[in-house]
Structure 1
Amino acid sequence: MPECDGCGSHVTENYFRVFAVDGDLPACIHCASNREAREAGLRQQ
């Protein structure tokens, strides 16, 4: 399971499906708001 770059927490497949993210995240729901995490994911695409 992928890990968040910010806090190292595992990110669920459901989270990736909702936010359409591939690879590691610089921020996730454990260390950022949903909006911030979504923006982080969109930047990675």
Structure 2
Amino acid sequence: MQDDRITLTPEEQAARRRRSVAIGVFLVALVVIFYVVTLAKIGG
């Protein structure tokens, strides 16, 4: 049975890491925005 895994170059691994970090930052920012909007609606 042959190994069908794809081997990424260091550049591709770095790009994947940057993309993952960017998605994580975006999701955290979205959660913070929803939280602030919710507090504003409840408080106002």
TM-score over 0.5 (shorter chain): no
Higher share in helix = 2
**TM-score between the two structures when normalised by the length of structure 2:** 0.29
Higher RCO (CA 8 Å, separation ≥ 6 residues): 1
Larger C-alpha radius of gyration, 1 or 2? 2
Q: TM-score, normalised by structure 1?
A: 0.29
